């Protein structure tokens, strides 16, 4: 298609948006509400996935050693643990080191447990090759001699992920319903345009305009509706995410977890919102054209 022709189509589609005033506004608003929720969910879900991965990667198996285990048995146990499938590293930490870590994290009052009062056990910290292997490594380690117990910090995380999954599923379901509503509203707007221009379409057909030529302005009108509808969600999500990112100290990976840095994350998110807007707009137009533009 020639550039001049495309320019004419763009002009026609924008004029048509203006001519349909309130209907266009309703369709743009529907897209805005939809994309606002889509944007928030996308930012949330992408970051939840990121943190989930970080948490999973952070999970390590703690193998507690029986209190009366000799040094030789401890060394043997280390060898047995290292030999287990999917075990990457095995690091020994004495009960005194364990207490020091608690004092470091929670304060000096824990020092009262120093020396013989220390109730903690010597442990092996076992890192696995993949997060998925933690459970099997824990089970195997628990069966070894001189092992009091073996656990991994995954149980709590697992419950957390379960809750997050539920939220994700509902969020995705809700978003899909909203996308359908937006497509429906856009297709209605385009239908009105098609009906209001039926005489013109008739003349176009009679003088030999191709179907593609006739369809382009409607397709563009849908795409504009989607694009304009994505502008406010972009601004709101960008501003909101920046506030959350900077205000809640997620900029530093203080506890090993961090959100996506605002750049380039927000650029990709904005492009995704614009893309989704254009796609649902064009989809709405296509539905209308199939039903009401018999050419």
Partner 1 sequence: MTTIQIKNAMKRYDNGVIAVKGISLTVEPGEFVYVIGSSGAGKSTFIKLLYHELALTEGMIKLGRFNFGEMKDRDVPYMRREIGIVFQDFKLLPRLTVFENVAYAMQVIETPTRKIKPRVMHVLRLVGLEQKLRRFPSELSGGEQQRVAIARAIVNSPEVVIADEPTGNLDPDTSDEIMDILERINSDGTTIIMATHNRELVNMRPHRLLEIAGGRLVRDEEGGAYGNED
Q: How far is the CB of 200 from partner 1 (least distance, A)?
A: 6
**In this structure, are residues 64 and 123 in contact, taking their beta carbons and an 8 Å threshold?**
yes
157 CB-side CA count, 13 A: 19
Strand, helix or coil for residue 80? helix
Total chain residues near partner 1 (CB under 8 A): 18
Which residue, 9 or 60, is less far from partner 1 as judged by CB?
Answer: 9
249 CA to centre of own chain: 20
Q: How many residues make up the chain in this entry?
A: 295
Which residue, 8 or 95, is less far from partner 1 as judged by CB?
Answer: 8
C-alpha to C-alpha distance for 154 and 55, rounded to whole angstroms: 9
Binding-site string for partner 1 from residue 105 to residue 144, where x marks contact by CB under 8 A and - marks none? ----------------------------------------
Integer angstrom CA distances of residue 171 from 49, 142, 153: 14, 39, 27
Which residue, 5 or 89, is less far from partner 1 as judged by CB?
Answer: 5
Binding-site string for partner 1 from residue 141 to residue 180, where x marks contact by CB under 8 A and - marks none? ----------------------------------------
Choosing from 46, 164, 204, 244, the residue that interacts with partner 1 (CB under 8 A) is 204
Q: How far is the CB of 210 from partner 1 (least distance, A)?
A: 5
Binding range to partner 1, per CB under 8 A, among 3-11, 63-71, 161-169, 226-234: 3-11
Name the β-bridge partners of 87: 128
Task: Tell which residue, 237, 177, 175, has the closest CA to residue 47.
Answer: 237
Choosing from 44, 209, 236, 272, the residue that interacts with partner 1 (CB under 8 A) is 209
C-alpha to C-alpha distance for 5 and 213, rounded to whole angstroms: 9
Residues at the interface with partner 1 (CB under 8 A): 1-2, 4-5, 8, 199-200, 202-211, 213
């Amino acid at each position: 298609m020639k550039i001049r022709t495309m320019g004419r189509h763009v002009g026609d589609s924008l004029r048509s948006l203006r001519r349909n005033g309130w209907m266009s506004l309703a369709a743009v608003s529907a897209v805005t509400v939809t994309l606002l929720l889509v944007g928030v969910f996308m930012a949330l879900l992408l970051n939840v996935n990121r943190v989930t991965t970080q948490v999973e990667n952070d999970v390590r198996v703690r193998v507690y050693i029986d209190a009366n285990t000799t040094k030789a048995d401890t060394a043997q146990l280390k060898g047995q643990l290292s030999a287990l499938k999917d075990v990457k590293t095995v690091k020994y930490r004495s009960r005194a080191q364990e207490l020091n870590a608690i004092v470091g994290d929670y304060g000096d009052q824990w020092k009262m447990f120093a020396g013989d009062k220390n109730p903690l056990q010597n442990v092996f910290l076992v890192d696995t090759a993949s997060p998925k292997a933690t459970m099997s490594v824990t089970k195997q380690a628990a069966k070894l001699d001189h092992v009091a117990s073996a656990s991994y910090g995954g149980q709590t995380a697992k419950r957390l992920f379960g809750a997050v999954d539920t939220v994700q599923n509902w969020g995705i379901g809700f978003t899909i319903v909203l996308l359908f509503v937006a497509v429906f509203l856009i297709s209605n707007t385009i239908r009105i345009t098609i009906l209001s221009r039926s005489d013109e379409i008739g003349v176009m057909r009679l003088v030999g305009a191709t179907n593609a030529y006739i369809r382009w302005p409607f397709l563009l009108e849908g795409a504009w509706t989607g694009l304009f509808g994505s502008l406010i969600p972009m601004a709101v999500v960008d501003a909101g995410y920046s506030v959350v990112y900077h205000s809640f100290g997620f900029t530093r990976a203080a506890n090993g977890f961090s959100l996506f840095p605002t750049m380039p994350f927000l650029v990709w998110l904005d492009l995704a919102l614009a893309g989704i807007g254009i796609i649902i707009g064009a989809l709405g137009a296509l539905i209308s054209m199939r039903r009401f533009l018999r050419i």
